Amino acid sequence: MTAYDELMKKIKDVDIISQIGSLLSWDQEVMMPPKAALLRAEQLAYLSSIRHEKMTDEKIGTLLERLEKDNNLDEIQIGNIRLIRNSYDKATKLPNDFVIELAKHRSMSMITWTEAREKDDFSIFRDDLKKMISLVRREADYLGYDEVRYDALLDNYESGLTVSKLDPLFRSLRNNVSPLVKLVVEEGEEPNMDWVKENKWSKAGQENLSHKVSEAIGFDFSAGRRDSSTHPFCGGPNPDDVRWTTRYSETEPFGSLYGSMHETGHGMYEQGRPRNLDFQPAGKANGLGIHESQSRLWENQIGRSLAFCEWSLPLWKENFSENMNEVKAEDLWRSVNMVQPSLIRTESDEATYNLHIMIRYEIEKQLISGEIEVDDLPNVWNEMYDKFLGIKVPNDSLGVLQDVHWSMGAFGYFPTYTLGNLYSAQLLSAAKKDLGDINKQIRDGNFSPLLEWMRNKVHSRGSIIEPSELIKEATGRMPSSDDFVQYLKNKINELYQIKIDIK
């Protein structure tokens, strides 16, 4: 057995443990009875401990040192060694008892967050969140950083991401997008939403609509499933078993459909990963920013297009016949694209979405640095929503408790959503040059060309190269916000007929 084969055999063991853990985590969020919380915490902590022990095996370090001197490796082997080195270095910096403690607390914290959100009572979650913040601060210190502690956490979700890189990005988006939102609020004519507000939207109809749309755009339900959960997510162990969830409201049907399209985008990425690289790091999705580009692409740039509304209108009428009698495709298009500052990130429009992310990013920086503490959090959250979005937060369930991420210890995750928006616009712009009239294809229900383009340019490439290099390879340019800003300007101009400097 070669040194490379021996290394990959060890990494396969690590990956199988991670796959088992992903199934237990999915069950915890979707089906697990509440009384099983303590047991599940022990189970997940045990898996985390075993995985950590295997990942920190000294033999992995020895094999890496040997292979890093080999000049005859191919692209995939080089990618695997780069990724394994990164994981090994991080794992060896984290004590095993800390890994166990974090895994146990993550499991329990998710339970208290769910209860706090349901009961609109931040105090239920307060102590667990305080401990979680303490734990992730320790994690950052173990991992190390050059400038600020938060950089270590950002790097967990997008390799090389730092505050010094993100601050200018968010500043640029604020400067370009905020004036667009202001123009719409001051000069735009709101679409007629009576047809939405005055009707009830059955859960059964929403389930059927979201299932048919997900299947039509390319999700393989023989290798996946759809369920409901408090917070929509996509999980599952490998391309043959991909699981996503959504949630339903009888007063508003867009959240379930577009939440479904968002998670379907994640799911199709997972199903499109290179099967010859199963159990290998290079076969995984390429960071959360790239992952988010796929979900935002299908949810927004495709799902909220006029062409998609024209195609999907018959499905709406099939599932909600009485509600949709007088509704035209253009009415649907205007309604699903209404630009309006709102409380809920997952249901916000494309123009204001990044402001939601910016708020969380600013809060996380301050929490991790110690500038604010947990008891300050609800007030700080409410003040920022008033300052940046101009809206009052009526309660904590619609405010600081709305996202699951902090209960999981996922600090540094939120900025990847904004990266996904930027990447998706750049990828779609490149795809249009290759595929021709994408709008006609969508209007005809022909989603295969775009999905196959993403399969070839993104999905099949796994994590062989760095995220920014993948975007450059697929589009011919390094990542930029230009395409996203241009896309927003074009869309707002079409929707609201407001005079905007398009170029």
- Tell me the longest C-alpha to C-alpha distance in the chain: 69
Q: Which uninterrupted H or E stretch holds 338?
A: none
Residue 13 makes CB contacts below 8 A (sequence gap 6+) with: 54
- Concerning whether 383 is annotated as a catalytic residue, the answer is no
Q: Among 281, 251, 233, which Cα is nearest to 18's?
A: 281
Judged by DSSP in three states, 307 sits in helix
Which residue matches tokens 């996509």? 234
Find the catalytic residue in 139, 158, 263, 270: 263
Q: Are 284 and 463 in contact (CB under 8 A)?
A: yes
Residue 492 makes CB contacts below 8 A (sequence gap 6+) with: 180, 183, 184, 188, 339, 351, 498, 500
Length of the chain: 503
Which residue matches tokens 């369930």? 397
Q: Is 499 exposed, middle or buried (0-12, 13-18, 19+ CB in 10 A)?
A: exposed
Q: What is the CA angle 395-397-400, rounded to 5? A: 85
Q: Among 67, 72, 100, which Cα is nearest to 82's?
A: 67
Q: What share of the chain is helix, strand, coil (3-state, %, to 5)?
A: 70, 5, 30
Q: Among 253, 142, 136, which Cα is nearest to 201's?
A: 253
Which residue matches tokens 């298009």? 333
Q: Which uninterrupted H or E stretch holds 274?
A: none
Which residue matches tokens 């599940």? 40
- Enzyme catalytic residues: 263
